[in-house]
Amino acid sequence: MKTFNIGELSDKSGVASHAIRFYERENLMPEPARTQSNYRRYPEDAIARLQFIIHAKQWGFTLDEIRELLMLQDANGDRAEARQIAKKQLEKIRHQIQSLSRIEAVLSETLKECSGEGPMDGCPIVEAIAQQG
C-alpha cells in the first residue's frame, strides 16, 4: 500500500499542505500516521477524502456541514440525516438563485436605460440604486 507525505498529498489532491493541516485541526481530516521523524504519512484514500471536501465546497456546503457529512460517513450513520443536510442546502441554493434573479432583472433593465453618455447627474443607474433596492 502506498503512503504519502503531506506535500505529495497536496500535489495529488490540489489542496495546499497548510490547508490539509488546517482540515486536520478542524476535524475534517483524521490524524494520520507519523514517521519516526514525525512526518505525516497518508494512505491513498486521503486523496478521495480531500476531493470530497473540495466538491462539497463547490456545492456551497460550509466546512461545518462538510464535517457533519464526513462524521455521518465515518460513523456509518443515518442516511436520513445526510438527506436533511442536503435538502437544507438545496433550499439555500434555490433562495439564492431567486434573490439573484430579481437583482439580475432590475439591473439589466436599468443598464438598457443608460446609454453611458453624459454626466453622472441624472444617471439611471444611480437613480435606480438610490430609489429602491
Partner DNA sequence: CATAACCTTAAAGTGAACTTTAAGGTCAAG
Partner DNA sequence: CTTGACCTTAAAGTTCACTTTAAGGTTATG
Q: Which of 24, 32, 52, 68 binds a copy of itself (CB under 8 A)?
A: 52
Residue closer to a copy of itself by CB (options 21, 87) is 87
Q: Which of 17, 41, 47, 54 binds a copy of itself (CB under 8 A)?
A: 54
Number of residues assigned to the chain: 133
Question: What 8-state DSSP symbol labels residue 129?
Answer: H
Instruction: Compute the CA torsion angle 34, 38, 44, 46 (nearest 10 deg).
Output: 90
Query: What are the grid coordinates assigned to 70, written together?
Result: 464526513
Enumerate residues 36-75 that contact DNA by CB under 7 A: 36-40, 57, 62-64
Q: Which of 3, 12, 22, 106 binds DNA (CB under 7 A)?
A: 22
CA 28, 34, 39, 45 dihedral sign is negative
Binding segment toward a copy of itself, per CB under 8 A, in 4-12, 17-25, 31-39, 114-122: 114-122
